[in-house]
């Protein structure tokens, strides 16, 4: 098999047209990993044998006339902080008890398997979803397929790089401050952080309890809709999971934005230090494309923007500190140096500060609700630059980069990062489509409509185009 499909949608059609089997598709993607993964560090654990067994089962189901939907026979990568019953979960850390999650599928994994998906491997992350690239620990240092000297973003690094490199057709990431959307942006793919509580997060090693989301990472927004359809819905194992009905996401993809009111947030994004001129022009081109397609694009300004970022950071560090403090006290050196520094930051905020952040969160929820009342969605940059170099990267240096994802974790709103162009050096750029609570169908509809007008999401990194 030489012509590997780019998207889940394309592969689902190919499988049903019998142009290839799931075993052939899965084998081709494993072969591509043989060729590329030593350069990219996508996998912590490859699951060749169970993946091929699952692929054979999917093929047998097709042969028996059983169609479980568009994920049947589709290879997916799983960020290695989500429990899978047939592979260990490390959180890319020496700290996590290897018995954690042993023999258990997280609810979201069980749902994907139930839809016939092929779990092809566990992907690299930043340690506990908060570290930074660290060659001193016995885990891969993930790299960006668009330029392997650069970072694919984090913390769902391997999931982002793996989708961009075509090592699997979709992946799960997790997002507490941007960890689905940042790698999606830097790798030129689509990454969705849906509404907080839309997808159960039980079976995922926590980072920030009130900020964590498990989200789909795919090339296209349409593929994201396919994954979310299976992942979404109430599960009692997650006390934060919302018992809210799940709409038909694919049915919402009309291809049209005509008549939608999409607020455009320039004020807090386009003049931020470090935002590249190419990012500004790509964003303006994207807004113009939406307007040409019939959307109204009024200017909006998110109030208390800096506080939104600060509150997310404070809460993330405080909640992570709560989870890690007991281990930090006795195993500080076993953590990666970036991780221990980041989670120790929780020690520098008081309990009163934490509650103040929660009071600010109440205020911000009300302010954004009022801002969005006359709108269907908002758009803004995801990041204002291309991927940074891996060498020398740490939290202090990355904090200077123009990254705009955290406020939507604090507010729990759906935010879809989609590609909008490239920097002068050929690295992907991205914008976010932000929606109202539980209005993923609108967010995905806008992202899908934009992708019907553009092909940035279908571009292949040169490294991959030259591979098998």
DSSP 376: S
Which helix (H) or strand (E) covers residue 440, if one does? helix 440-453
Q: Is the dihedral of CA 366, 372, 377, 380 positive or negative?
A: negative
Q: Is residue 301 involved in binding other proteins (CB under 8 A)?
A: no
Minimum distance, C-beta of residue 407 to other proteins, in the bound complex (Å): 13
> Does residue 307 interact with other proteins by CB under 8 A?
yes
Nearer to other proteins, 81 or 169 (CB): 81
Terminal CA-to-CA distance of the chain, rounded, Å? Answer: 9
Closest CB 347 distance from other proteins, rounded Å: 4
Q: Does 131 bind other proteins (CB under 8 A)?
A: no
Task: Out of 251, 288, 396, 466, point to the residue binding other proteins (CB under 8 A).
Answer: 396
Nearer to other proteins, 107 or 191 (CB): 107
What number of chain residues touch other proteins (CB under 8 A)?
46
Residue 322 sits in the site that holds other proteins (CB under 8 A): no
Q: Is 403 in the site for other proteins (CB under 8 A)?
A: no
Answer yes or no: 155 catalytic.
Answer: yes
Round to whole Å and give the CA distance between 32 and 50.
18
Q: Does 119 bind other proteins (CB under 8 A)?
A: no
User: DSSP code of 387?
Assistant: P
- Say how far apart CA 11 and CA 29 lie, in whole Å: 12
Total number of residues shown for the chain: 468
Q: How far is the CB of 266 from other proteins (least distance, A)?
A: 22
Which residue, 269, 262, 274, 271, is CA-closest to 308?
A: 269
- Nearest residue (CB) to other proteins, 45 versus 307: 307
Which part of the chain contacts other proteins (CB under 8 A), choosing from 160-168, 170-178, 280-288, 337-345?
Answer: 337-345
Strand 299-300 to strand 377-381: parallel, antiparallel, or no bridges (unpaired)? unpaired
C-alpha neighbours within 13 Å on the C-beta side of residue 351: 1
User: Applying CB under 8 A, does 340 fall inside the site for other proteins?
Assistant: yes
Select 56 or 337, whichever has its Cβ closest to other proteins.
Answer: 337
Smallest distance, Å, CB 406 to other proteins? Answer: 12
The catalytically annotated residue of 21, 124, 155, 430 is 155
Smallest gap from residue 333 Cβ to other proteins (A)? 9
Q: Which is nearer to other proteins, 177 or 419 (CB)?
A: 177
Spatial contact of 88 and 8, defined as CB atoms under 8 Å apart: no
Is 436 a residue of the active site?
no
Residue 174 interacts with other proteins (CB under 8 A): yes or no: no
- Residue 344 burial (CB count, 10 A): 17
Spot the catalytic one: 79, 122, 137, 436. 79
**Percent of the chain that is helix, strand, coil (3-state, to 5):** 40, 15, 45
- 21 is a catalytic site residue: no
Applying CB under 8 A, among 239, 259, 273, 392 the residue interacting with other proteins is 239
Among positions 37, 238, 265, 319, the unique one binding other proteins when judged by CB under 8 A? 238
- What is the Cα–Cα distance from 312 to 307, expressed in whole angstroms? 8
User: Which residues make Cβ contacts (< 8 Å) with residue 140, sequence separation at least 6?
Assistant: 41, 42, 43, 44, 124, 158
Where would I find the H helices in 297-385?
305-331, 337-344, 351-372
Would you say 276 and 251 are in contact if contact means Cβ atoms under 8 Å apart? no
DSSP 81-123: TB-BTTB---TTSSSS-TTTTTT---HHHHHHHHTT-EEEEEE
Interface with other proteins (CB under 8 A), residue from 75, 77, 101, 384? 101
**Token pair recorded at residue 93:** 């850390």
233: contact with other proteins by CB under 8 A: no
- Is 362 near other proteins (CB under 8 A)? yes
Catalytic residue among 179, 220, 321, 430: 179
State the minimum distance, in angstroms, from the CB of residue 202 to other proteins: 3
- The yes or no reply on residue 258 touching other proteins (CB under 8 A) is no
Stretch that binds other proteins, among 23-31, 122-130, 197-205, 374-382 (CB under 8 A): 197-205
- Which of positions 33-92 make contact with other proteins (CB under 8 A)? 83
Burial 295-323 (b: 16+ CB within 10 A, else e): bbbeebebebbebbbbbbbbbbbbbbbeb
Among 349, 458, 460, 468, binds other proteins (CB under 8 A): 349
Q: Candidates 19, 266, 341, 452: give the one binding other proteins (CB under 8 A).
A: 341
- The sign one gets for the Cα dihedral 188, 194, 199, 200 is positive
Stretch in the footprint of other proteins (CB under 8 A) among 256-264, 284-292, 357-365, 443-451: 357-365
State which of residues 353, 370, 389, 391 lies at the interface with other proteins (CB under 8 A).
Answer: 353
DSSP state of 272: S
Which residues in this chain contact other proteins in the complex, by CB under 8 A? 83, 101, 104-107, 200, 202-203, 236-239, 304, 306-307, 310-311, 313-314, 321, 325, 328-329, 332, 337, 340-341, 344-345, 347-350, 353, 355-363, 365, 396
The residues assigned a catalytic role are 79, 155, 179
């Amino acid at each position: 098999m030489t012509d590997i499909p780019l998207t889940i949608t394309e592969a689902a059609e190919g499988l049903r047209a019998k142009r290839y089997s799931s075993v052939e598709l899965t084998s081709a993607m494993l072969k591509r990993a043989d060729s590329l993964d030593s350069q990219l560090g996508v996998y912590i654990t490859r699951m060749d044998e169970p993946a091929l067994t699952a692929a054979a089962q999917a093929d047998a189901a097709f042969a028996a006339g059983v169609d479980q939907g568009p994920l049947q026979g589709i290879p997916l990568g799983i960020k290695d902080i989500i429990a899978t019953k047939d592979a260990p979960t490390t959180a890319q850390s020496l700290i996590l008890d290897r018995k954690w999650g042993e023999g258990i599928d997280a609810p979201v994994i069980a749902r994907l398997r139930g839809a016939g998906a092929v779990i092809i491997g566990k992907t690299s992350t930043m340690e506990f979803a908060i570290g930074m690239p660290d060659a001193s620990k016995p885990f891969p240092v993930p790299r960006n397929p668009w330029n392997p000297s650069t970072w694919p973003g984090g913390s769902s690094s391997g999931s982002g790089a793996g989708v961009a490199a075509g090592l699997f057709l979709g992946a799960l990431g997790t997002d507490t401050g941007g960890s689905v959307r940042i790698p999606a942006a830097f790798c030129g793919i689509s990454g969705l952080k849906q509404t907080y509580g839309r997808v159960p997060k039980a079976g995922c090693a926590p980072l920030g309890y009130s900020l964590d989301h498990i989200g789909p990472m795919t090339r296209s927004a349409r593929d994201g809709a396919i994954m979310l359809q299976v992942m979404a819905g109430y599960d009692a194992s997650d006390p934060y999971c919302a018992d809210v009905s799940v709409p038909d996401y694919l049915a919402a993809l009309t291809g049209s934005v005509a008549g939608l009111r999409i607020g455009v947030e320039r004020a807090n994004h386009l003049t931020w230090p470090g935002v590249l001129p190419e990012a500004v022009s790509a964003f303006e081109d994207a807004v113009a494309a939406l307007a040409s397609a019939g959307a109204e694009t009024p200017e909006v300004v998110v109030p208390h923007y800096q506080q939104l970022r600060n509150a997310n950071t404070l809460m993330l560090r405080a909640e992570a500190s709560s989870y890690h403090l007991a281990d930090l006290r006795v195993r500080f050196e076993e953590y990666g140096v970036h991780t221990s520094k980041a989670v120790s930051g929780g020690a520098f905020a008081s309990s009163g500060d934490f509650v103040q952040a929660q009071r600010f969160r109440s205020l911000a929820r009300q302010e954004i609700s009022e801002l969005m009342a006359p709108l269907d969605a908002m758009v803004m940059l995801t990041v204002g630059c291309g991927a940074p170099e891996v060498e020398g990267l740490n939290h202090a240096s990355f904090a200077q980069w123009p990254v705009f994802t955290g406020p939507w974790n604090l507010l729990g709103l759906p935010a879809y990062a989609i590609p909008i162009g490239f920097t002068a050096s050929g690295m992907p750029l991205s914008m976010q489509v932000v929606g109202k609570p539980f209005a993923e169908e609108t967010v995905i509809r806008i992202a899908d409509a934009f992708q019907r007008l553009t092909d940035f999401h279908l571009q292949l990194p040169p490294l991959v185009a030259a591979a098998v």
